[in-house]
Every structure is written in C-alpha cells, then in structure tokens.
Amino acid sequence: MCTTSEKFRCKGTYISIISQISINVNRGGRGIIQDMISGLVAIAMQTFVLGTSMDVTAVADGVAKPTANASIQGTSERTITYTISSKGVITGNIEEFRKIVAETLADNKGWKRAGVKFVEVASGGSMWMVLAAGNEVGAFNGCSATLSCVVYPYVLINDARWMSGSDSYNALGLSLSNYRQMVINHEVGHYLGHNHITTCETGTGLAPVMLQQSTGLLGCLPNPWPLPGELWYTR
C-alpha cells in the first residue's frame, strides 16, 4: 500500500468510441457498427462494475479504490515484470517463495484469466514480490506487522503468515499451500487496483479472493483464486 496521504493516477487501458472508430478506419471500414456497439458495451461494463472515479487513493492494508479506467477480461493483455526480494530477518526460504510465486502467478485459475502475464526479472521489475519480516511490514505507514500489505510497487508478503498461515484457514484444516496461493493472489489483486470485498459470491458462497480471508471468512467458503467478477485490473 501507499501512505494514506498519497494519491496517484492509475495506468490502465482507456477505451473510447473514437479509438474504436479509428481502429476500424484502419481496417478499411469493416465492422464499424459492430465494433462501436462493442465499445459502448465495454464502457458500460466499466461504469457499472467500477464506478466513475479516476483517481486511486491508497489506504490501510493495501486497499486501492478501483476506478473506471479498467481493463475487462478478454479486452487486452498486459505483461507485468516482477522481481523477487526479501526484507528483514525471515525464516521462509526465498527460493521456495520464488517458486510458489511463479507457479501461482502462472496458474490458469489466477490473474492470468484477466489477461495479465507475469514475467520474473532479476532486478528492476515493475512489481516487487517481497517476503518480509513482520516488523518490516509494520514499519510502513498504514501497514500491520501481522498482515501482508502492498506499498506500490512492493507486494509485501508477511513472513510469519507465509510460514504459519492464518487462524481462519488453519481452523478449517486447510493446507499452508492453499493459504499461500490466496495471500499471493489477494495482495497482487491490490497491486492491480482491487479493493476489499466483504460479501460471498452469489450462488456458490465462495469468498472472493479480495475478501480479507486472513482475518476471517465472513461466512463464505475459502477460495484462493479470483472469481469471474474480479477479473479486471486498473494498473
């Protein structure tokens, strides 16, 4: 997360009728009406799902307010480079962390479904996946020493949680592997621009990955993967 006083402009995919027309003129005018309608539908979906605010204000625990400037599943593909790092004295194995992060981000059940491709680079990634000691996480303004957090561009995975999971998952006998997938997807979701969700998915009762499952399931079923309604990004 960023400090509560910081604001920044999201970098997303802008969709406009003008761009739809321009694209079709370059194609020789074929399918202009159909593509204009598709553009209108895309804009309507963005407004319905995400509201109209164009600014993102970071607040406590890595929450970023979603904006109208979002990419909807299937409309585009984005590549995000990331770098693995650690901060403070950790007990987790950094190579194991690297492996699980890579597997989770490449999984077809994850953010890949939203059209996001993650590529690890040795340094200078646009996103930093950091296994961090709790006291190091808590040192950031607005972050808790007992939770993971996002301080853009850093995704801080709390080492204590990484090693022991959470009471909510452990009480159900769920594996540490499930918890680790969930916390990676949850925090990366914040990096992508998602806010917390506090209601279960209608019909299935599944917890959205953006529900704060580390602190409680609110009556939902545990779920480590983004649900269909979460497959978008604003940055």
Write down the pLDDT at residue 212. Answer: 97
For residue 83, CA distances in Å to 4, 19, 91, 121, 142 come to 25, 34, 19, 5, 23
The amino acid at residue 216 is G
pLDDT of residue 76: 65
pTM, to two decimals: 0.71
CB 193, CB 49: distance < 8 Å = no
CA distance 125 to 102: 14
pLDDT averaged per 10 residues, the chain (length 235): 31 31 37 39 31 29 41 69 98 98 98 97 98 98 97 97 97 97 98 97 97 97 98 93
Q: What is the pLDDT of residue 77?
A: 86
pLDDT at 71: 55
pLDDT at 235: 84
Walk me through the domains of the chain, giving residue ranges and CATH numbers: 78-233 (3.40.390)
Q: Which residue in the block uniquely carries the two structure tokens 């997807």?
A: 185
Q: List CB contacts of 191: < 8 A, sequence separation 6 or more.
A: 127, 150, 152, 153, 155, 235
